[in-house]
Each structure stands twice: as structure tokens, then as C-alpha cells.
Amino acid sequence: MSIEWKSWKELPIGKIIPEPATTLKFKTGSWRALRPELNQDKCIRCLLCWVHCPEPAIIRLEDDLVKIDYNYCKGCGICANVCPVHAIEMKMEGE
């Protein structure tokens, strides 16, 4: 279902949002100034970054490796901070 309503006449009754997870259309990745860079080779699959990411913008893969979802990552740096092996480095966006 589209959430691209144009007129009051099209709106759902009761002022509800009739679909789940529509924030997926709102890419908060544009917020960040710092960007996490993950070195897969260092990753020990502890999953701490996945657990603590507030968006969540870290995707847990099949084998418990992780991937960063840059569509939503706000660059808070928690993942780099909690990684016990410093596999994630925060770099300035655009570098």
C-alpha cells in the first residue's frame, strides 16, 4: 500500500498508519558525518555491534558476520566503540 497520499480524501480513517515498518522509506543515512568502515578479516563474530546498534543499521548475516546498512547508519560510532578487536573504524564521510 502506498503512503504517498496527496489529498485529505485518501487518508486512512482514524489517522492511523495502516502499514508496518514504513520508516524503511526514510533513509537516515544522510544524517551521518562519520562513517563506520568494517574490516571483515578482523571480525570475531561476537555480535556486540549488532546488539548495540540503535537503528539497527547492522545486519547479522547467516554465518554471524555482519554488514553495515549505510541507508540508515547515523554514524554514532557505538559499533566502533564496543568492538573488542577494533574491526570498525570511523572515518569522515566523503573521505
Partner 1 sequence: MKGRLIGLNGDTAVAFAAKQANVDVVSAYPITPQTIIVEKLAEYINNGELDAAFIPVESEHSALSAAVGASLAGARVFTATASQGLALMYEILWIAAGMRTTIVMALGNRAFSPNINIHCSHDDAYAARDTGWIEFFAENVQEAYDLTLQAFKISEDHRVLFPSIVNLDGFILTHSLEGLYVLDDKVVSDFLPPKEPYNPIDPDAPKTYGPLDLYDWYMEHKKLQDYHFNHNVPPVIKEVFEAYADISGRHYAPVKTFGLEDADVAIMILGSSAGSVRHIARQLREKGRKVGVISLTQYRPFPKEEIRKIVKNLQVIAVMDRSISFGSPGAQLYMDMAAALYNAKQKPLMFNVVYGLGGRDLTPDQIIQVYDKAEEVLKKGEVEEDQIWVGVKE
Partner 2 sequence: MVEAKPIKTLKDIPRKELFAPGHRLCAGCGIPQVVRFVMKAVPDPKVVVNATGCLEVATTIFPYTSWKVPWVHNAFENAAATASGVEAAIKTLAKKYGKKGYKVVVFGGDGGTFDIGFQSLSGMLERGHDIMYICYDNEAYMNTGIQRSGATPKGAHTTTSPAGRVIPGKQEKKKDLIRIAIAHGIKYAATMNPAYPVDMYNKIVKAANTSGPTVLHYFTPCPTGWYFDPSRSIEVARLAVQTRIWPLYEYDHGKIRITVPVKKPKPVEDYFKLQGRFRHLLRPENRWLLEEIKKDIEENWKELERLAEVYK
Q: Does 93 bind partner 2 (CB under 8 A)?
A: no
88 contact, one of partner 1, partner 2, none, CB 5-8 Å limit per kind = none
Helix (H, G, I), strand (E, B) or coil at 79: helix
Amino acid at residue number 22: T
Applying the rule CB under 8 A, the residues between 2 and 21 that interact with partner 1 are 5, 7-9, 11-20
Task: Kindly list the distances between the CA atom of residue 14 and the CA atoms of 4, 11, 17, 64, 88, in Å, as whole numbers in the listed order.
Answer: 17, 9, 9, 42, 45
30 contact, one of partner 1, partner 2, none, CB 5-8 Å limit per kind = none
The residues binding partner 1 (CB under 8 A) are 5, 7-9, 11-20
